[in-house]
Structure 1
Amino acid sequence: LAIVALASPVITKEYTNSKKEGRDIVLIVDTSDSMRERGFDPSNRQKNKFEVVKEVAASFVQKRQNDRVALITFADIAFVASPLTFETEFLQQIIGMQRLGIAGKRTAINDALVQSYSMLEKSKAKSKIIILLTDGVDNVSQVTTEELTSLVEKSKVKLYTIGVGSERDFDGVYLRKIAKAGKGQAYAARNAHMLSKVYDEIDRLEASQMDDKKVVQHIYLFIYPLLFSILLLLFFIYFKTKRSL
């Protein structure tokens, strides 16, 4: 047994330790008066655009694992409805509590975007994303489009824009321009189904990176035969001493 212990028997186990790298995501949602328009959901034309947007946004948040998500809403002004958080249930409740008219009736898209970029400046996440949703045209922001574009181009944050409803209502050229500056993409969603598909597409494009590390575990077994051989030696000494007495 002592010889077996000296041979140092070992069991080797190998397994993969997978770790997802989280993202910081800011959702920007338009709460201006134009979001009251009904008929956006063909399956329930009594719902207005804002009700559908809240449902789709809540569903998107529910799927987030390892990601921090924030919510900024805007109309005349932009304000933080929720800071970056891992608490998806809490954020879904916050989304459900949002009401039209709280921030006014007009559309301050640029101001909302600047606030979002300011929030993500402090983030240490490797992947930072903004998803802007609007059905209108900026008509009240204090920040100009030129100033915003310069900020977006310099930032490492990726920007996705979504225009909802009729393309006559939102400024597609503007949304494509700032999305390109933000190294992202611009989308148009004419109805609820298309909007859900857009969020799924963004989720696919921005999939969390998986960090797979191979872990090797060694379990050394020499201790067991060594202890057993020591016990046998002690018994041998004990009985030999007893006989000599």
Structure 2
Amino acid sequence: MFRFLIPTAFLFFIIVPIALWAAYKRNKRKVFSFSNADMLFALKKPKATVEKCSWFLKIAALILFVFACARPVQTRDVSLFTQQSSLDLLFTIDISSSMNETATANTSDKSGLARIEYAKQALYALLDITERERAGLVVFAQNPYTVLPLSFDHTPLRYYASRLQDYPGTIEDGTAVWDSLMVSAERLGTVDSPAKVIILITDGANNCGFFTEDQVLERLLRDDIRLYVVHVGNYFSFTLTTRGEIDKIRKVSERSSGVFFTFSEERNIQKIAKQIESLERSIEEKQERLRYHQDYYLYLLVPALVCLSVSLNLDWIYRKGYLL
């Protein structure tokens, strides 16, 4: 459909009769008596024609310019199909230096893997069951960092997951669990999704940061976010103080309708998978109708500038008297 987006620009057409009247007044000649004026008229005819052409081009340029200002467009309705997930996951992974230590969750396990390797195994296993969901990645040590925002494309997420072992010790050390959860909740809080889940993978307890467990719990409950925790490490190998901090993480997880797991065996990851699969989730296709405008003002503006340029050149020729 062809239309003008700024129809009020046609009010400039009021200038056209004013310009014509000004041209008439300017070209009005006084009458003189001559015995024979044929030679005079023959001499002035080319000059008068040039002046009329100049004014005609100015009027044409003005009309074209007014139409261009009205912004003529051709509108088209375009339908776009977008995917919307009913489950959004944000993986929040501890990359403090302690994650490089060789400490398994099960003392009978002699594999000697670093904790970060267990975190990678847990992340890969969870990505396999959530490949159709939107997922993002937040890593933290003394400060949290958003590595990847929520996306259906898990390729970058798998790439960064394969390089998790390179992260510990690269940033300021510490374990800011509550700060990282607050950042993750902030990311998910603005998302319109029926189910929002934070999966925290850590080996220890909070030992730095600004936020407390009460503030984090309040935010999780307000935005209806579930916290699933995968604790990598032997719980009983920690001090009583550290175990008390870990218990706080457990309580926050349980009060947010999540679950606290210890990654001691592969079946614990399967438990997490079943918990996530129990959440109602699907990929919804949403149709959006957009109105596309194709502008045509340049097709009028360029001829207007050409007419104005030619008119100004004719005026210059007229003033120089080259046609005499």
TM-score, normalised relative to structure 2: 0.53
Determine the C-alpha separation between the residues in 2 that align with 1:40 and 1:96. 20
The residue identity in structure 2 corresponding to 1:184 is G
Once the 2 structures are TM-superposed, how far is the Cα of residue 51 of structure 1 from its aligned partner?
A: 1.5
Matched, 1:154 2:222: yes
Selected match of 1:203 from 254, 262, 276: 276
Partner Cα separation in structure 2 for residue 20 and residue 118 of structure 1: 19
Aligned-partner SS, 1:129: strand
Check if 1:45 corresponds to 2:135.
no
**Aligned CA distance change for structure 1 residues 21 and 122 (closer, same or farther; 3 Å):** closer
C-alpha deviation, 1:194, in angstroms: 4.7
SS in 2 for 1:76: coil
Alignment of 1:90-105 (within 5 A): 90-98=156-164, 99-105=167-173
The alpha-carbon deviation at position 40 of structure 1 amounts to 2.5
- Shift in Å, 1:180: 2.5
Q: CA deviation at 1:172?
A: 3.6
Separation in 2, partners of 1:198, 1:79: 28
2:90–2:137: 8 Å Cα contact kept in structure 1? yes
Which residue matches 2:255? 181
Distance in 2 (alpha carbons) for counterparts of 1:166 and 1:44:
13
SS at structure 2 position matched to 1:62: helix
Q: Which runs of 4+ in 1 moved over 4 A?
A: 41-44
Find the aligned partners of 1:194 and 1:63 in 2 and give their Cα distance.
14
* Distance in 2 (alpha carbons) for counterparts of 1:196 and 1:208: 19
Counterpart position of 1:23:
87
Q: CA separation in 2, counterparts of 1:20 and 1:83?
A: 15
SS of equivalent residue, structure 1 residue 105: coil
**Larger strand percent:** 1
Tell me if the contact between 1:20 and 1:208 (Cα under 8 Å) persists in the aligned partners: no
What secondary structure sits across from 2:235 in the alignment?
A: coil
Deviations 1:210-241 (Å, cap 9, x if unpaired)? 99xxxxxxxxxxxxxxxxxxxxxxxxxxxxxx
The two structures have a TM-score, normalised by structure 1, of 0.69
Find 2:174's aligned residue among 77, 91, 106: 106
Q: Structure 2: 5+ residue runs without aligned partners?
A: 1-82, 285-324
Q: Confirm or deny: 8 A CA contact 2:133 2:283 kept in the other structure.
A: no
| Greater shift in the superposed pair: 99-108 or 195-204 | 195-204
Distance (Å, rounded) in 1 between the aligned partners of 2:86 and 2:132 = 5
Matching residue of 1:123:
191
Distance 2:283 2:158 in 1: 26
Structure-2 change in CA distance of 1:124 and 1:178 (3 Å): same
CA distance in 1, matches of 2:276, 2:235: 23
Unaligned runs of 5+ in 1: 1-18, 212-245
Partner of 1:54: 120
- Check 1:25–1:55 CA distance in 2 against 1; reply closer, same or farther (3 A cut): same
How large is the RMSD of aligned CA atoms in angstroms? 2.6
Taking only the aligned residue pairs, the percentage that are identical comes to: 20
Query: Which SS does the other structure have where 1:90 is aligned?
Result: helix
Q: 2:104 touches 2:234 (CA, 8 Å); kept in 1?
A: no
Q: Deviations over 1:41-82 (max 9, x none)?
A: 877724211022113302321332431001111111100111
Letter of the structure 2 residue corresponding to residue 72 of structure 1: V
